[in-house]
Structure 1
Amino acid sequence: MIPRDEYLDNLISFKDKRLIKVVTGVRRCGKSTLFELYQDYLLTHGVETGQIISVNLEAGEFADITDHRALFEYVDAMLDGGRMNYIFLDEVQRVEEFQKAVDALYIKKNCDVYITGSNAYLLSGELATLLSGRYVEIKMLPLSFKEYAAARGENLAPERLYQDYIHNSSFPYALELNRPKDVRQYLDGIYNTIIVKDIITRKRINDVEMLKSTARFMFDNIGNITSTKKIADTMTSAGRKISVHTVENYLDALTESFIFYKIGRYDVKGRQYLKTGDKYYAADVGLRYAVLGAKMADAGHILENVVCLELLRRGYEVYLGKVGAAEVDFVAIGDEGEEYYQVAYTLVDADGKTLERELAPLDSIRDHNPKFLLTMDYGPVVSHNGIKQIYALDWLTGRASL
């Protein structure tokens, strides 16, 4: 199993706390493996096997558990009344009204409850109402570049590892596959499972091809400012007539299933969130290649995608920055305030205009929050009037001195 130390440490920090631990993320990003890693930790720290109750609701042996009563009765019958019980419910959204079973277990003094789900709606509607203030969400993503490089364990140049990372997928199991065609088949399986199980069935969508066309459009436009009207107009002009309302529903479904992450805009000078001009980034760039084939992508937008996900991994709220008429790629809001990131694949040109263009939006921000320019041009950290230019792969692996 690939270590996922940051997520594991997060679970450990909440051990025995009176909170339901909810791990969310796209299918196959490693949620079940995280539970296994955590259970191993428990077993080496004084917890006995009989105190751990693990239910993977996608496994055939639990096929009969389809509603909250059956789930509660199954777990309740296995509880050790004299000791703390650690209860793991994997892909719990498959159970009808699961939140009632989770709540019934939570109120027991000897139950520490952990659940996973592959849909954002897990924490909406009735669950949010019933369990408000009783849960903490741990948002999980596929492997970071740092995790990927460590798992490969090979003496390869960082640039080679990066190309493998974006083409061969950041989904953990993809590392077990040696042939590119096997990786593509694996990614196709993930994608089709999400489309069928997490979207079509739940949303009761009839036009499957239209949904897939929308997803293809989004993969083809990661890093571009996108509106539902633009998507509808583009698809209609290509002979696939679709309404704005339908596009909105499809985008909601795709983001709820964590295939894409929607990044809104933030007015840096006015300190306000804007309602238009969103961008979407893919949970895994390898999925883009699996869906679109060998179609070339803008290397800068791919790097943006990787940087955006890394900021999300590090716990930031992430927005696109508007600075007057200029744009900053990312405004990252964390515990210590705001940070600004500009991303450029390369700054190399004949007259230095690219560097000037990339620095201009950051220079126009008058506050003193940290500002970074990330690029694939190898070199040490350089300061441009306080703006730190950093080799992107050093930043991704934590080797850059900030």
Structure 2
Amino acid sequence: MRQVAGSLQGLKVYINFEDSRFRDLKPETLQEIKKIAAEYCIKGPEDEEGLAGKEIDDKERPEVPVSYFLDEIHCLPEWEDRVYSLQNDGARVFVTSSSAGIISDEISSRFADGIKIIRLLPFSFKEYLTLKGLRVPRPNFLTPSRCDEMLCLFLQYFENGGFPEIIKSGDFRLSRKYFEETLQKEIIERHAIQNPDGLKKLAVFLISNMASEYSIDTLKRAGGIKDEATVRNYLDYLEEAFLLYRVPMFRHKSEKPDYGKEGEDERESNTPCKVYAGDTGFFKSVFPRYPDSLGLRFENLVFLELLRRGKQVYYLHNRRECDFLIAEKESQKITAAVQVCLCFGGTAVREREVLGLMEAMEEFGLNEGLILTMDDEEVMEIERKDGEMKRIIIKSVWKWMLE
């Protein structure tokens, strides 16, 4: 917000609706603030616009543009009406929220072309380097020593996650603090959770099993929760708070049961899913003494990068598994297949990753596939029985993240 505000002229009004002074909010709160801003624009200091020493009638005073920066807007009741009113008055409005609940088709359609939604995720590897004051290199033009340097920096990024304050301070305890505060403020308090211990157990279980499939029965046992609907609600709350993301298994339309229009939610809820953490640093902060699963965190890292790039992501689990399928958002046509493995060495690993990727490439008519590894690189040309050639690119994940 500071960067945006610094580039704008005129009056800037910043409000953090999580501030304790705004706890007893009423829908009229923003209206009162708007009146104060309007009064300032009319009767503000003469030298605000370089008019010191001049007597100017209010009607002749230059119009001062007003920009509102509204932090944690979801805390304001009926915030959509208030923001809509500000926009109609010609003000520029920037809102932030730590809840994905404010992003909906209904809100987008209401504001029509007057809204732009930007999803802010933990920092990418590029942003990590920039925050460290380092130049982001072109990955295909690096000397061997420079490659070694980039790999070391990537490993630091991989270990600590992408939260800016943790990158700057090196205080990894902040990751656990973020996790616990988000659970408490954004879910338990906001939704008046009756079983906070069950929610916490469920969240910890999901974070510890990032990049894994889950079943509702397993989650019920993990959280000690009897009701299936409660588990589904908790999953929604955790995703709205950006603590985790769910990725559905790809199903062809012919494989999906027809529930009718009214059964759309039921159909989606019965689709198998994998779960990914909102930041790779959550695993070690929640389980500091737990045996680390580098492979799962590695896959989680790739998922977050795909999310940053705005990709529509699925996974495939037929006879074999392909970690990620990339689909066009409108047509749902699969355009790419990606496997993830720490080390592309050993016969068993190579066979598993290649066969899983080839199955996806065959099913969706793809001629090229991608395997992301920690530091292995090669290109494989595979000839099918019909003579058609398939190409598999094995690439270092840190180079891919710098593209």
> TM-score scaled to structure 1, two decimals?
0.77
Q: 1:353 to 1:318 in 2, by over 3 A?
A: closer
Alignment-derived partner of residue 286 in structure 1: 281
Task: Give 1:360 deviation, angstroms.
Answer: 3.1
Deviations 1:275-306 (A, max 9, x none): 42101111111112111223123322211111
Query: Which of the residues 172, 190, 198 maps onto 1:183?
Result: 172
Paired residue type of 1:160 = C
Aligned-partner Cα distance in 2 for 1:377–1:355: 16
Does residue 244 (structure 1) correspond to residue 238 (structure 2)? The answer is no
Paired residue type of 1:70 = T
Alignment-derived partner of residue 169 in structure 1: 161
Query: Which of the residues 52, 71, 76 maps onto 1:90?
Result: 71
Task: Give 1:208 deviation, angstroms.
Answer: 1.7
Alignment-derived partner of residue 20 in structure 1: none
Aligned-partner Cα distance in 1 for 2:310–2:94: 20
Deviations 1:339-390 (A, max 9, x none): 2211121120146534543443344234247531111233356655222221
**More deviation, 159-168/244-253:** 159-168
Aligned-partner Cα distance in 2 for 1:295–1:153: 33
Q: 1:75 to 1:378 in 2, by over 3 A?
A: farther
Query: Which of the residues 356, 364, 370 maps onto 1:372?
Result: 370
Q: 1:153 to 1:133 in 2, by over 3 A?
A: closer
Alignment-derived partner of residue 104 in structure 1: 85
Query: Which of the residues 2, 23, 38 maps onto 2:4?
Result: 38
Alignment-derived partner of residue 192 in structure 1: 180
Task: Give 1:316 deviation, angstroms.
Answer: 1.1
Paired residue type of 1:255 = E
Aligned-partner Cα distance in 1 for 2:402–2:253: 31
Secondary structure class of the residue paired with 1:75? helix
**More deviation, 276-285/325-334:** 325-334
Task: Give 1:84 deviation, angstroms.
Answer: 3.3
Deviations 1:155-209 (A, max 9, x none): 873333333223323110112223xxx321x223212221111101111112221
Paired residue type of 1:301 = L
Aligned-partner Cα distance in 2 for 1:247–1:191: 19
Alignment-derived partner of residue 138 in structure 1: 118
Does residue 78 (structure 1) correspond to residue 73 (structure 2)? The answer is no
Q: 1:369 to 1:115 in 2, by over 3 A?
A: farther
Number of residue pairs matched by the alignment: 347
Aligned-partner Cα distance in 2 for 1:138–1:130: 17
Aligned-partner Cα distance in 1 for 2:347–2:240: 44
Deviations 1:87-119 (A, max 9, x none): 2111111112212211111212x2121111111
Aligned-partner Cα distance in 2 for 1:122–1:269: 29
Aligned-partner Cα distance in 1 for 2:254–2:312: 18
Give RMSD over aligned pairs.
Answer: 2.9
Paired residue type of 1:303 = F
Instruction: Could you tell me which runs of 5 or more consecutive residues in structure 2 were left unpaired when the two chains were aligned.
Output: 43-62, 135-145, 257-266, 383-389
Residue 319 of structure 1 contacts residue 331 of structure 1 at CA under 8 Å; is this kept in 2?
yes
Task: Give 1:148 deviation, angstroms.
Answer: 1.3
**More deviation, 161-170/92-101:** 161-170
Query: Which of the residues 381, 392, 397 maps onto 1:392?
Result: 397
Deviations 1:130-158 (A, max 9, x none): 54665332111010122113323468733
Instruction: Could you tell me which runs of 5 or more consecutive residues in structure 1 were left unpaired when the two chains were aligned.
Output: 1-34
Aligned-partner Cα distance in 2 for 1:267–1:53: 48
**More deviation, 225-234/152-161:** 152-161
Deviations 1:47-80 (A, max 9, x none): 2xx33222222345x5367223111220343144
Alignment-derived partner of residue 326 in structure 1: 320
Alignment-derived partner of residue 19 in structure 1: none
**More deviation, 139-148/382-391:** 382-391
> TM-score scaled to structure 2, two decimals?
0.77
Residue 382 of structure 1 contacts residue 390 of structure 1 at CA under 8 Å; is this kept in 2?
no
Paired residue type of 2:217 = K
Residue 53 of structure 1 contacts residue 87 of structure 1 at CA under 8 Å; is this kept in 2?
yes
Aligned-partner Cα distance in 1 for 2:88–2:160: 44
Answer with 1 or 2: which has the greater Rg: 2
Aligned-partner Cα distance in 1 for 2:329–2:249: 19
Alignment-derived partner of residue 305 in structure 2: 310
Does residue 54 (structure 1) correspond to residue 14 (structure 2)? The answer is yes
Aligned-partner Cα distance in 2 for 1:312–1:100: 30
Residue 362 of structure 1 contacts residue 387 of structure 1 at CA under 8 Å; is this kept in 2?
no
Residue 320 of structure 2 contacts residue 356 of structure 2 at CA under 8 Å; is this kept in 1?
no
Residue 347 of structure 1 contacts residue 354 of structure 1 at CA under 8 Å; is this kept in 2?
no
Secondary structure class of the residue paired with 2:116? strand
Q: Percent of aligned positions with the same letter in both sequences?
A: 27
Aligned-partner Cα distance in 2 for 1:130–1:66: 23
Does residue 339 (structure 1) correspond to residue 336 (structure 2)? The answer is yes
Paired residue type of 2:163 = F
Aligned-partner Cα distance in 1 for 2:322–2:347: 24
